[in-house]
Structure 1
Amino acid sequence: MRAITYSDFGTARNVLHWKDLEASAPQAGEVRVKLRFSGVNPSDVKSRAGRPGLDKPAFAEIIPHSDGAGVIDAVGDGVNPDRIGQRVWIWNGQWQRPHGTAAEFITLPADMAVPLPDGVSFETGAILGIPGLTAAEAVFGGGDIAGQTVLISGGAGTVGLLAVQLAKWGGAKVIATCSPRDMERVKEAGADAVLDYSAHDVAAQILNANDGALIPTIVEVEFGVNVDLNAEVIAPNGRLAVYGSAKNMQPVLPFFPLLFKAVTIDILLIYLLPKPERDARIAQLHAALTDNALTCPVERIYPLAETADAHEAVEAGGRTGAILIDCQD
């Protein structure tokens, strides 16, 4: 099979290589998926570039990317053979495993290949793993949100835009922040109020948009930058669902206001989501898709041979959708 691999940390152009490998036969409890698309996420490019404290990758040779979608073409012992030909999407494809989805095939445990609902495209399926599950857990991880207000920071990002749609589908009033250029797009996704994240009085604007009431649930992409703002606008016993802090990885917390509001800081790493919660989020994603309440925008699809370009596009930021790899092109 054709695959993209790396064996050292570094820039995409320096370390990503095209390689022909043998597609692994599925072992007991496994399936093999002929991949149609691979999703490229920020975590994928950061893993390839290298992380603090690590001088080499975890495996001698890595096929990157955890998200993808395709068709099961073979099954191992103990897996229903009726699954051959089933359309599926992948989660955790390269989490603590050497071979991810930047290839023509992936072999993995059967439960990590989730049946794709009828009418849902492979492109959408390749976005459901990290962005979709993160958005669903951020929005619904604290329980029913119907009739509540949810504040979504970074509402124009891949995760943020999905969170806006899911929160609206879940019956919440949705307030989102983003840059001015993205406001219309976030409104179209269902946000009831969209605010400029950089406004000097953004806290007052948030509360005004909620008729002066504090916010019970906040979905946060930049924890370190926004923790003071969040402490100001969150309600007592509120939940702060955090899935990123790229601009400040060593934040200083305003403990006193957080303490006296008994705020729950729920830090999300979707790879580690326990099975009951994962199953619940998968069911919610599928239900929203079936209700036509969730769309997953795609910025660009790159051929497999141009995976380095795709990594650079993710690193550049400023996108209006996901970056995908066509695994059969």
Structure 2
Amino acid sequence: MTVAPLMRAITYDRYGGSDVLQLTDRPEPRLGPDSVLVRARAASVNPVDWKVRAGYLDALMDVQFPVVPGWDVAGVVERVGQDATEFEVGDEVYGYVRRDWVHGGTFAELVAAPVRTLARKPASLTFEEAAAVPLAGLTAYQSIERAGVHAGQTVLVHAAAGGVGQFAVQILRARGARVVGTASARNHDHLRGLGAEPVEYGDGLVDRVRALAPDGVDVVLDYGADDLVGTTRALLADGGTVASIVEAAARTELGGHLVWVRPSTADLDALTRLIDDGAVKVDVAQVFDLADTAAAHDLVAEGHVRGKVVVRV
């Protein structure tokens, strides 16, 4: 019997805190006909990663232990599947490698990625920067698409300084929209630099937004609002819409959209164009080594980091 070569990967074999994450030797992944084998150079941590690890999404997602966590990756194509004609060996790629179950993720030296989850890496980015883009960037892009934002509209972005919010602000500005973004005071200068008009969240938010937009806003994008239903009803202009990545009430009570990000080569290509044209910048907060993935998870779980946390593979 042939023994599969081994690779280094982060794994966990049960739900729990960051202490369940271990650096282990795992068999190299098998390569399906519509996939490519990516030699990972970097991966990034998203809030969903530690929530899956803790078991909070068990009712929503099938999990097969041991799990290699992570969905974001940037690296170089090492081998191509029999029907994976979209890429060649040596191509620099990045992607949101999410399947319908949780098992073989991106915190590993080698990642078997379906071609539908990948795109060519932006030429202007390092691998660490590119790994910070896919999940958060696609979430922002797809929620904006779902809301149908166009030039001249005023958009309220909740949690505008977060990983998704920063991408959304820049994509919206590139579309010619006016952006009002909620954030803590310490992030206001940063948001102004991205082209948003910042407002403090919390009590009095409606009045502060009305001071900037007396007629209300055309679109509400929710990446972490305290009171989505109340503020939206108070601020959304007639004919406006709301899209949320966290609150089902956006759809059930407000008649808007609940968005769950999907892998998409076409949408990644759109982000690549915005990045390489200079319209979207990538904010990497901190880079960890693969062996320190637990510390990276802990930092993201604290909820106060601005920008993306990346692991160098």
TM-score, normalising length from structure 2? Answer: 0.91
Determine if contact 2:71/2:106 at 8 Å carries over to the other structure. yes
Alignment partner of 1:205 is 2:231: no
State the alpha-carbon separation in 2 of the partners of residues 218 and 25 from structure 1. Answer: 43
Q: 1:313 to 1:136 in 2, by over 3 A?
A: same
Alignment-derived partner of residue 215 in structure 1: 217
2:237 pairs with 1:238: no
Structure 1 segments unaligned to the other structure (5+ residues): 259-263
Residue in structure 2 matching 1:194, options 195, 198, 201: 198
Q: 2:256 aligns with which of 265, 288, 311?
A: 265
Contact 2:122 2:272 in 1 (8 A): yes
Asked whether the equivalents of residues 66 and 95 of structure 1 are also in contact (C-alpha less than 8 Å), the reply is: no
Conservation of the 8 A alpha-carbon contact between 2:242 and 2:250: no
Q: Please report how far the alpha carbon of residue 60 of structure 1 lies from its aligned counterpart in structure 2 after TM superposition.
A: 2.3
Counterparts of 2:11 and 2:223 in 1: how far apart (Å)? 29
1:67, 1:91 within 8 Å by CA — same for their partners in 2?
A: yes
% identical equivalent positions = 28
Aligned pairs (5 A) from 1:1-329: 1-13=7-19, 15-51=20-56, 58-80=63-85, 83-93=88-98, 95-191=100-196, 193-198=197-202, 200-210=203-213, 212-223=214-225, 225-245=227-247, 258=254, 264-271=255-262, 278-327=264-313
SS at match of 2:27: coil
1:24-53 deviation per Cα after TM superposition (whole angstroms, max 9, x unaligned)? 242312100000111110101000011266
Residue 244 to residue 253, structure 1, CA distance change in 2 (3 Å): closer
Secondary structure class of the residue paired with 2:78: strand
Structure 1 residue 205: Cα displacement: 2.0
Say if 1:291 and 1:11 are closer, same or farther in 2 by CA, change over 3 A.
same
1:122 alignment partner AA: F
Counterpart of 1:261 in structure 2 is none
CA separation of 1:82 and 1:90: change in aligned 2, threshold 3 A: closer
Q: CA deviation at 1:161?
A: 1.0
Residues 227 and 254, structure 1, Cα contact 8 Å, conserved in 2: no
Give CA deviations for 1:151-198 in whole Å, capped at 9, x if unaligned.
11111101111111111111001111110111101111111x211112
Relative to structure 1, the CA distance from residue 148 to residue 280 in structure 2 (aligned partners, 3 Å threshold; closer, same or farther) is farther
Structure 2: stretches of 5+ with no match in the other structure? 1-6
Aligned length: 307
TM-score (norm 1): 0.86
- The secondary structure found in structure 2 opposite 1:61 is strand
